[in-house]
Amino acid sequence: MNVSVPNDRLPAGFEFAVACVCGAIVANLYFAQPIVGEIAGTLGLAPERAGIIVTLAQLGYCLGLLLLVPLADALENRRLALAVLVVGFAASITMALTTSPTLFLIACFGIGVGSVSVQILLPYAAALSDPKRQGLMVGRVMAGILTGIMLSRPVSSLITGPLGWRSVFFVSAAISLGAAMLILARMPARQPESKLRYGAMLKSMGSLALGNRLLQRRAAYQFLMFYSYTLFWTALPLLLSRPPYSLDQVQIALVALAGAAGAMMSPLAGRVADRGAITLGMTLSLSAGVLSWIVAGWGGSGGVVGLAALLVGALLLDGAVPVSLVMSQRELFSAHPNERARLNGLFMAAFFVGGAAGASVGVWAIENCGWHGAMIAGASGPLVALTLHLTFQALQTPPRSKGVRK
């Protein structure tokens, strides 16, 4: 029996509630990143092994995307999201209390798994929305998600300063508990119509990954864009903490907060996508990604002009990534409404693998080649994506689906 609520009878403030919940949950995945040094020192981890804290969280998230998110095409969505969120809550409490390095690292994996409830709620919100406003719904929820990602690192640094790093994970647990209460209070049940068994569902994901050209194309674009984004925000704090800037952690956090304004482009991107201008929107967003690095390249010189260049570059890149992301998800969700969760799992797995690659390249590039080396490495992402996009448009006119231009 389908127990979904019709989209014309959704609770007031439904979109806002989903956006807030998703932004809060995804922040849990990134809280540890700027404080891995403090955590490693307390737990006795060797400095060269501190990066495993972030790696395990990302690994848990990627496995959750591939193994848990597809269940949203068959199981009641709200109940599934809550069950996954419980894992994240337990992991946060463990990270706040444990003195065992091994148990802490296991909990890092768990917090990654628990955070994938975000990617269950995103296609859930799209499925309940009016088809004519689906892009706007996706855009508003993505604004919440990206705001959570962008604010998580500076907030973590600001909390750790006066209260210590363990307090960050008590906050993380409280966020998970609050998100669960909001899900129960403001989000209706949704039972998908699919009756696929779990094994068949996983098998179908293999077929989608190998055979769905739209998914392959969009996943490639977003891999390259999030690679560039993560590279930027990995390399930038290293640049700002050293001469000629020599900023402290609070000042670096304020720069990151300023860049977070770019997430507000997501709702606008959703409106544009709903009007059928996906091809134009993608072209502009990928071009803005290239331009962001050209502008940010002036930031290596230091001074007021250099800092202004970095801020403008950050705003451009932080605006380009959500626009391209919303365009891609709007197209995927419209073209394949019965496979939204599986497509989203595969799509976002590629997205976050790109982010992991960008973090590794960012550290290597700035340490070995300086800021201009990082600029070249970062700009390559949107530049390759733009080249692929324009080449595809020149060689082939994509098929139309539900009135949306591909």
The sign of the dihedral angle between the CA atoms of 268, 272, 278, 283 is negative
- 110-114, 122-126, 269-273, 323-327: segment of lowest average pLDDT: 269-273
C-alpha 353/C-alpha 346 separation (Å) is 11
> What ranges do the domains of the chain cover?
1-195, 210-397
pLDDT of residue 112: 93
Helices (H) and strands (E) in the chain, counts: 15, 0
pTM: 0.79
Which two tokens mark 139?
């855009």
- The mean of the pLDDT values for the chain is 86
Residue 7, pLDDT > 70, answer: no
The pLDDT of 111-134, averaged and rounded, is: 88
pLDDT at 108: 94
pLDDT of the residue at 400: 55
Give the per-residue pLDDT at 286: 96
DSSP-derived secondary structure letter, 242: S
- Is the pLDDT at 403 greater than 50? The verdict is no
- Identify the pLDDT of residue 90: 97
3: confidence class by pLDDT, cuts 50, 70, 90: very low
**In percent, how much of the chain has pLDDT > 70?**
93
Write the pLDDT tens digit of every residue in 310-365.
999 998 998 899 889 888 988 888 888 878 888 888 998 898 888 878 877 887 88
Tell me what pLDDT residue 166 has: 95
pLDDT at 133 over 60: yes
As a whole number, mean pLDDT of residues 295-307 equals: 92
Cβ neighbours of residue 376 under 8 Å, at least 6 residues apart? Answer: 365, 369
- CATH 1.20.1250.20 for domain 1-195, yes or no, is yes
For 313, the enclosing helix (H) or strand (E) is helix 303-335
Q: Which CATH superfamily is domain 210-397 in?
A: MFS general substrate transporter like domains (1.20.1250.20)
